[in-house]
Structure 1
Amino acid sequence: MNLQELTNRSLAGDIDEINLVSMEGDIYVLEARMGNRYYPVQDVLGHVLSVRSVAHARELLHALPAVPFHLVHAVVHDEMVGMQDERDIGDGVPIPLH
Protein backbone atom coordinates (compact mmCIF):
# COMPACT_ATOMS: atom_id res chain seq x y z
CA MET A 1 0.00 0.00 0.00
CA ASN A 2 1.42 3.41 -0.92
CA LEU A 3 0.78 6.72 0.86
CA GLN A 4 -2.04 7.72 -1.50
CA GLU A 5 -3.85 4.44 -0.96
CA LEU A 6 -3.27 4.73 2.80
CA THR A 7 -4.75 8.22 2.76
CA ASN A 8 -7.77 7.15 0.70
CA ARG A 9 -8.44 4.08 2.85
CA SER A 10 -8.01 6.14 6.04
CA LEU A 11 -10.52 8.71 4.85
CA ALA A 12 -12.92 5.86 4.01
CA GLY A 13 -12.51 4.48 7.55
CA ASP A 14 -10.85 1.23 6.43
CA ILE A 15 -7.61 1.63 8.42
CA ASP A 16 -7.78 0.32 12.00
CA GLU A 17 -4.33 1.53 13.09
CA ILE A 18 -0.95 2.64 11.83
CA ASN A 19 2.30 1.43 13.36
CA LEU A 20 5.67 3.11 13.16
CA VAL A 21 8.04 0.18 13.58
CA SER A 22 11.56 0.89 14.86
CA MET A 23 13.73 -1.73 13.20
CA GLU A 24 17.25 -0.94 14.40
CA GLY A 25 16.79 2.05 16.64
CA ASP A 26 17.17 4.61 13.85
CA ILE A 27 15.37 2.90 10.96
CA TYR A 28 11.60 3.12 10.91
CA VAL A 29 8.94 1.69 8.63
CA LEU A 30 5.19 2.24 8.57
CA GLU A 31 2.56 -0.46 8.49
CA ALA A 32 -1.20 -0.14 8.34
CA ARG A 33 -3.63 -2.62 9.85
CA MET A 34 -6.93 -3.43 8.17
CA GLY A 35 -8.76 -6.15 10.05
CA ASN A 36 -6.29 -8.88 10.96
CA ARG A 37 -3.82 -8.04 8.21
CA TYR A 38 -0.84 -5.67 8.25
CA TYR A 39 0.32 -3.85 5.12
CA PRO A 40 3.73 -2.20 4.79
CA VAL A 41 3.59 1.35 3.45
CA GLN A 42 5.56 1.56 0.21
CA ASP A 43 7.08 4.33 -1.87
CA VAL A 44 6.11 5.01 -5.50
CA LEU A 45 8.56 2.32 -6.69
CA GLY A 46 6.99 -0.37 -4.48
CA HIS A 47 9.82 -0.45 -1.92
CA VAL A 48 9.10 -0.29 1.79
CA LEU A 49 9.05 3.38 2.73
CA SER A 50 11.91 4.34 5.04
CA VAL A 51 11.06 6.90 7.71
CA ARG A 52 13.70 8.90 9.62
CA SER A 53 11.84 9.71 12.82
CA VAL A 54 8.47 10.10 14.52
CA ALA A 55 8.36 13.70 13.29
CA HIS A 56 9.04 12.56 9.71
CA ALA A 57 6.23 9.98 9.99
CA ARG A 58 3.84 12.69 11.16
CA GLU A 59 4.84 14.86 8.17
CA LEU A 60 4.12 11.97 5.78
CA LEU A 61 0.78 11.21 7.45
CA HIS A 62 -0.44 14.79 7.93
CA ALA A 63 -3.41 14.34 5.54
CA LEU A 64 -4.83 11.36 7.44
CA PRO A 65 -7.75 11.63 9.83
CA ALA A 66 -7.25 10.70 13.46
CA VAL A 67 -6.26 7.02 13.37
CA PRO A 68 -4.68 5.08 16.26
CA PHE A 69 -0.91 5.48 15.84
CA HIS A 70 1.65 3.33 17.70
CA LEU A 71 5.40 3.27 18.06
CA VAL A 72 6.51 -0.36 17.94
CA HIS A 73 10.00 -1.61 18.73
CA ALA A 74 11.13 -4.71 16.88
CA VAL A 75 12.77 -7.37 19.02
CA VAL A 76 16.50 -7.46 18.24
CA HIS A 77 16.69 -11.28 18.36
CA ASP A 78 13.87 -11.53 15.80
CA GLU A 79 15.60 -9.02 13.53
CA MET A 80 18.76 -11.12 13.52
CA VAL A 81 17.24 -14.58 13.04
CA GLY A 82 13.98 -13.72 11.31
CA MET A 83 10.52 -13.40 12.72
CA GLN A 84 8.45 -16.54 13.05
CA ASP A 85 5.23 -14.54 13.29
CA GLU A 86 4.97 -11.07 11.81
CA ARG A 87 3.32 -9.87 15.05
CA ASP A 88 6.34 -10.86 17.20
CA ILE A 89 7.62 -7.30 16.88
CA GLY A 90 6.49 -6.25 20.33
CA ASP A 91 3.66 -4.19 21.75
CA GLY A 92 3.08 -0.70 20.48
CA VAL A 93 3.07 2.46 22.54
CA PRO A 94 0.26 4.83 21.55
CA ILE A 95 1.53 8.21 20.35
CA PRO A 96 -0.35 11.19 18.88
CA LEU A 97 -0.60 11.18 15.08
CA HIS A 98 -1.04 14.94 14.79
Structure 2
Amino acid sequence: MNMHMLTELAEKGEIRELELLSLEGGFYIARVRLEHTELTLLDDHAKPMRIGSTTHLRDLLQRVPPFPCVLVQHCVHDEMCGTREGPIGALRIPFSLEASF
Protein backbone atom coordinates (compact mmCIF):
# COMPACT_ATOMS: atom_id res chain seq x y z
CA MET A 1 0.00 0.00 0.00
CA ASN A 2 1.37 3.40 -0.96
CA MET A 3 0.45 6.84 0.43
CA HIS A 4 -2.07 7.47 -2.37
CA MET A 5 -3.96 4.25 -1.61
CA LEU A 6 -3.82 4.95 2.13
CA THR A 7 -5.33 8.39 1.58
CA GLU A 8 -8.13 7.01 -0.60
CA LEU A 9 -9.00 4.30 1.94
CA ALA A 10 -8.93 6.81 4.81
CA GLU A 11 -11.29 9.13 2.90
CA LYS A 12 -13.70 6.19 2.46
CA GLY A 13 -13.43 5.30 6.17
CA GLU A 14 -12.10 1.82 5.38
CA ILE A 15 -9.04 1.87 7.64
CA ARG A 16 -9.70 0.04 10.89
CA GLU A 17 -6.32 0.76 12.50
CA LEU A 18 -2.71 1.63 11.76
CA GLU A 19 -0.08 -0.22 13.76
CA LEU A 20 3.24 1.60 14.05
CA LEU A 21 5.61 -1.30 14.71
CA SER A 22 8.84 -0.55 16.58
CA LEU A 23 11.76 -2.47 15.07
CA GLU A 24 15.34 -3.05 16.12
CA GLY A 25 17.51 -0.24 14.81
CA GLY A 26 15.37 2.63 16.05
CA PHE A 27 12.81 2.89 13.26
CA TYR A 28 9.21 1.90 12.67
CA ILE A 29 7.09 0.46 9.89
CA ALA A 30 3.34 0.97 9.49
CA ARG A 31 0.86 -1.87 9.07
CA VAL A 32 -2.63 -0.83 7.99
CA ARG A 33 -5.52 -3.04 9.05
CA LEU A 34 -8.58 -3.11 6.79
CA GLU A 35 -11.74 -5.20 7.12
CA HIS A 36 -10.21 -8.50 5.94
CA THR A 37 -6.50 -7.85 5.44
CA GLU A 38 -3.41 -6.04 6.67
CA LEU A 39 -1.03 -4.17 4.40
CA THR A 40 2.37 -2.57 4.96
CA LEU A 41 2.83 1.09 4.04
CA LEU A 42 5.37 1.21 1.19
CA ASP A 43 7.66 3.95 -0.06
CA ASP A 44 8.14 5.10 -3.68
CA HIS A 45 10.42 2.09 -4.33
CA ALA A 46 7.81 -0.44 -3.11
CA LYS A 47 9.88 -1.12 0.05
CA PRO A 48 8.45 -0.89 3.58
CA MET A 49 8.49 2.80 4.51
CA ARG A 50 10.91 3.53 7.35
CA ILE A 51 9.30 5.89 9.82
CA GLY A 52 11.37 7.67 12.46
CA SER A 53 8.75 8.45 15.11
CA THR A 54 5.09 9.17 15.77
CA THR A 55 5.84 12.79 14.88
CA HIS A 56 7.26 11.69 11.53
CA LEU A 57 4.10 9.64 10.90
CA ARG A 58 1.92 12.64 11.81
CA ASP A 59 3.87 14.76 9.31
CA LEU A 60 3.43 12.13 6.57
CA LEU A 61 -0.31 11.87 7.21
CA GLN A 62 -1.16 15.51 7.93
CA ARG A 63 -3.52 15.71 4.92
CA VAL A 64 -5.11 12.29 5.49
CA PRO A 65 -8.39 11.95 7.41
CA PRO A 66 -7.67 10.61 10.92
CA PHE A 67 -8.13 6.99 11.93
CA PRO A 68 -7.17 4.89 14.99
CA CYS A 69 -3.44 4.34 15.50
CA VAL A 70 -1.47 2.22 17.95
CA LEU A 71 2.26 2.07 18.72
CA VAL A 72 3.38 -1.57 19.03
CA GLN A 73 6.50 -2.39 21.05
CA HIS A 74 7.60 -5.99 21.63
CA CYS A 75 9.41 -6.71 24.88
CA VAL A 76 12.63 -8.42 23.82
CA HIS A 77 13.80 -8.79 27.43
CA ASP A 78 10.80 -10.97 28.31
CA GLU A 79 11.29 -13.06 25.20
CA MET A 80 15.00 -13.60 25.90
CA CYS A 81 14.77 -14.28 29.62
CA GLY A 82 11.57 -16.28 29.56
CA THR A 83 10.60 -15.08 33.02
CA ARG A 84 6.86 -15.14 32.40
CA GLU A 85 4.69 -18.13 31.79
CA GLY A 86 2.24 -18.19 28.89
CA PRO A 87 2.20 -16.06 25.77
CA ILE A 88 3.94 -12.69 25.84
CA GLY A 89 1.96 -9.98 24.09
CA ALA A 90 3.28 -6.76 22.65
CA LEU A 91 2.84 -3.44 24.40
CA ARG A 92 0.14 -1.54 22.47
CA ILE A 93 -0.17 2.21 23.08
CA PRO A 94 -2.97 4.10 21.27
CA PHE A 95 -2.07 7.52 19.88
CA SER A 96 -3.68 10.21 17.75
CA LEU A 97 -2.62 11.58 14.40
CA GLU A 98 -3.54 15.06 15.61
CA ALA A 99 -0.52 17.22 16.43
CA SER A 100 0.33 17.29 20.11
CA PHE A 101 1.74 20.45 21.66
TM superposition score category, shorter chain reference: 0.7 to 0.9
What is the alpha-carbon distance in structure 1 between the residues aligned to residue 14 and residue 28 of structure 2?
Answer: 23
Which residue is 2:72 aligned to? 72
What is the letter of the counterpart of residue 93 of structure 2?
V
Counterparts in 2 of 1:76 and 1:25: CA distance versus 1, 3 Å: farther
Which shifted more, 24-33 or 53-62? 24-33
Separation in 1, partners of 2:73, 2:15: 21
2:83 is aligned with 1:45: no
TM-score (norm 2): 0.77
Secondary structure of the residue aligned to 2:56 is helix
Which ranges in structure 1 are unaligned for 5 or more consecutive residues? 78-87
For 1:28, the equivalent position in structure 2 comes to: 28
Residue 76 of structure 1: how far off its partner (Å): 3.2
Shift of 1:75: 4.6
What is the aligned partner in structure 1 of residue 85 from structure 2? none
CA separation of 1:48/1:69 partners in 2, compared to 1, >3 Å: closer, same or farther?
Answer: same
Match of 1:61 in 2: 61
TM-aligned CA deviation for residue 91 of structure 1: 4.5
Q: How many residues align?
A: 89
Give % identity: 31
Provide the rounded CA distance (Å) in 1 between the counterparts of 2:25 and 2:70. Answer: 15
Task: Answer yes or no: is the 8 Å Cα contact 1:72–1:89 preserved in 2.
Answer: no
Q: Is the 8 A contact 2:20 2:71 kept in 1?
A: yes
CA distance in 2, matches of 1:76, 1:54: 21
CA RMSD of aligned residues (A): 2.1
Report how far residue 34 of structure 1 moved: 0.2
Q: CA deviation at 1:89?
A: 6.9
C-alpha distance in 2, partners of 1:19/1:61? 14
